Copies of this chain bind each other. A is one copy, B any other.
Amino acid sequence: MANEYIDIETLKYLLYDVHELEDVVRQDRFKDHDKESLNMFIDSVKEFSDRELFPYIKEMDEHPAYYEDGKVIVHKQVDVIMKKSGEMGLISGTFDYDAGGLQLPMMVYTASAFIQDAANNHLPGYLGLTIGSAELIVHFGNANLNEIYVPKMLSGAWGGTMCLTEPQAGSSLSDVVTKAIPSDKGHYKISGQKIFISGGDHQYAENMVHLVLARIEGAPQGTKGISLFVVPKKRPDKNGDLTPNDVTTVADFQKMGQRGYCTTHLGFGDKDDCHGWLVGEAHQGLKYMFMMMNAARIAVGRGAAAITMAAYQASLQYAKERPQGRKLASDGKKNPEQGQTLIINHPDVRRMLLLQKAVAEGSLSLVLLASKYFDLKETLQDKDEKEKYGLLLELIIPMVKTYPSEMGAQAVSNGVQVLGGYGFCSDFILQQYHRDIRIFSIYEGTTGIQSQDLLGRKLLMENGKALKLLTNEIMQTIEQASKYDELKKYAAKLGDKLQLAQKVIGFLIGFAQKGDYERFLSDATPFMEFFSNITMGWVWLDIACHSKNALITAQKKYTEEFYESKIHTMKFYFKYELPKTNGLADILMNEEILTIAGEQEVFN
């Protein structure tokens, strides 16, 4: 197994140089931090991940979480990382000082969680969901809930979950039927079933705090009648003693990947004794949940990007060490008397490695960009600027979640292929990454749902204002890149693609204007692929600009080869990935209607 899982130099380069973390740290909220202290934090996470996460990734796959006698049994390392992460501030990192947090920028949190994800993607979810559910309490819960639950969660003693999905509803939250009946004691009685609850139960958590979407008796149908509740596995009394709260662990789903990260089926109120406490106002649950969704979707993109990075590192190492075959001579023959060459010298292997590099580093850059928008939106004082970054964030979020998940899976599959037969065998880690990453295009809203969000909501949002803002950002990069002879032609290419995007969007919006929403959104997924491909062209051109700029300045932090490799990867992206948009534009502007259900049975 490869002994390295991350290119930490590239992470720091993207964080500090390309996305200029120091600009963000200048905001008042972050005034106690500086580059040095943040760097120390990141280094400590790397060291922690080397020691406590990476060594266990294979064994967590080989010994998956399982269900036994009403409990979920997970690997012992879940215990270690919950407790130690609590001590290190990895759970409370982004929280306010008031809530016991460190007021770290989201950018730094993303960078540190990326390291953990890359080291062992089966573990950080336990932290992530505890963070997300604690945030819901901090933002929307009353003082009492905050006092009882948040400190225990941020210390890692109690776990947290988000309980949305139900068996009969799947992604369609308007069909949630879990019931909440008010009592006269301030709590509600909760009853229902929730499935696919990540990190939903394990033997090491003193308690689990579930943030549950449910419908108060008599509430309106649809998404407007859903409320949010804190439903602990054990309810604490005034002295802090814990009593079982009628939350049952029904099962642990066995999965193809991320097998160390449990996915549970929970039952609430089988014995009519499950207490839940309303968070915020009644019927506002979905709104609250979705205010946390941006962070959750950045986290999914980040996890997928991290697996892609780890797979790239593993296959790169193999390609650098494995001799096989020979280079072609000018007559197209191979000379058997010549020694073998390393497979990294075969063009087809280089193509697969460069694809992995382009997707891994590009995706990382994208999630850092989203985190930067997040920080700016949260901390800037100027109202217009705040709005600007808020809109940019909203627009890119579906791509941040989807591109790393979809293209990451393809990149990892290329990583498997680099190893040939060994890539398919359990002795090597690639096959595990291939299985692990497949869930990411399903988590937190499938690719189909993200795509409808992008095309159906985000592009149209505020009369297309977000799209205009993003276009401006891209235009600025194009302008900057045009100043360098080496980058000029790529800048021009991206400009053409931007025009193509406008044409495609104009064509599609025509359907919405005619009221044909079904047709408007029917090709949302190919549109997602199209639009995120162009967005990634921008991301890479931006990296190339920074690298080119560093090359021509006197003071270089990294080697020339480092910067040249980034420019090379941008060129690779522009040659091998960006042209996909030609075919996608063709699909999107094709008038034929073939995927809308009609009278004809097409699936015989």
Which residues on A are within 8 Å of B, measured CB to CB? 7, 9-10, 165, 168-172, 174-175, 195-196, 221-223, 253-257, 263, 316, 320, 322-332, 334, 336-337, 340, 344-351, 353-354, 357, 409, 413, 416-417, 420-421, 423-427, 431-432, 434-435, 438-439, 441-442, 446-448, 451-452, 456, 512, 515-518, 520-526, 559, 561-562, 564-565, 568-569, 571-572, 575-576, 579-584, 586-587, 590, 592, 594-597, 600-604
Contact = CB atoms under 8 A, between A and B. Distances in A.
B347 A420 contact: no
A175 B424 contact: no
A568 B572 CA distance: 36
A320 B602 CA distance: 12
Contact of A350 (B417, B516, B597): B597
A435 B323 CA distance: 27
B324 A171 contact: yes
A147 to B, nearest CB: 35
Nearest to A560: B600
Nearest to A566: B604
Contacts of A337: 221-222
A599 to B, nearest CB: 10
B253 A517 contact: no
Nearest to A251: B427
B420 A254 contact: no
Contacts of A523: 347, 351
A329 B517 contact: yes
Given A420-B446, A435-B435, A584-B579, A525 B348 contact: yes
Contacts of A348: 448, 451-452, 522, 524-525, 595
Given A332-B512, A602-B354, A597 B417 contact: no
Contacts of A263: 421, 425
B170 A420 contact: yes
B604 A592 contact: no
B426 A328 contact: no
Given A569-B602, A571-B592, 18 more contacts: A170-B322, A171-B325, A172-B326, A175-B324, A254-B425, A256-B425, A316-B603, A327-B518, A347-B595, A417-B447, A417-B448, A420-B442, A561-B604, A562-B604, A564-B602, A565-B600, A579-B584, A582-B583
A63 to B, nearest CB: 14
A571 B559 CA distance: 52
21 contacts: A9-B604, A165-B421, A170-B324, A171-B325, A171-B420, A172-B326, A174-B326, A175-B340, A222-B336, A256-B424, A256-B425, A263-B421, A328-B518, A332-B456, A344-B603, A351-B595, A357-B603, A424-B439, A431-B438, A559-B604, A572-B595
A350 B524 CA distance: 13
Contacts of A169: 324
Given A586-B579, A594-B572, A425 B340 contact: no
A522 B332 CA distance: 12
What are the 4 tightest A-B residue pairs by CB atom distance, in nearest-first order?
A222-B336, A579-B583, A347-B522, A579-B586
Contact of A564 (B325, B357, B525, B600): B600
A590 B579 CA distance: 10
Contacts of A165: 421
Given A350-B595, A517-B330, A254 B447 contact: no
A456 to B, nearest CB: 7
B330 A515 contact: yes
Q: Is the interface of A mostly helix, strand, loop or mixed?
A: helix
A587 B576 CA distance: 6
A489 to B, nearest CB: 10
A526 B337 CA distance: 30
Contact of A582 (B221, B431, B520, B582): B582
B417 A409 contact: no
A256 B349 CA distance: 22
A25 B592 CA distance: 40
A575 B526 CA distance: 12
A515 B332 CA distance: 8
Contact of A594 (B349, B451, B520, B568): B568
Contacts of A323: 168
Contact of A417 (B254, B256, B420, B446): B446
Contact of A426 (B256, B413, B590, B604): B256
Nearest to A564: B600
A9 B448 CA distance: 31
Nearest to A195: B421
A255 B431 contact: yes
Contacts of A327: 518
A70 B254 CA distance: 31
A596 B568 CA distance: 12
Contacts of A420: 170-171, 442, 446
Contacts of A579: 582-584, 586-587, 590
Given A256-B435, A562-B604, A565-B604, A597 B424 contact: no
A597 B256 contact: no
A426 B255 contact: yes
A470 B325 CA distance: 31
Given A325-B171, A328-B518, A331-B517, A597 B345 contact: yes
A516 B331 CA distance: 8
A420 B263 CA distance: 14
A135 to B, nearest CB: 23
B516 A330 contact: yes
A324 to B, nearest CB: 5
B602 A565 contact: yes
A145 to B, nearest CB: 29
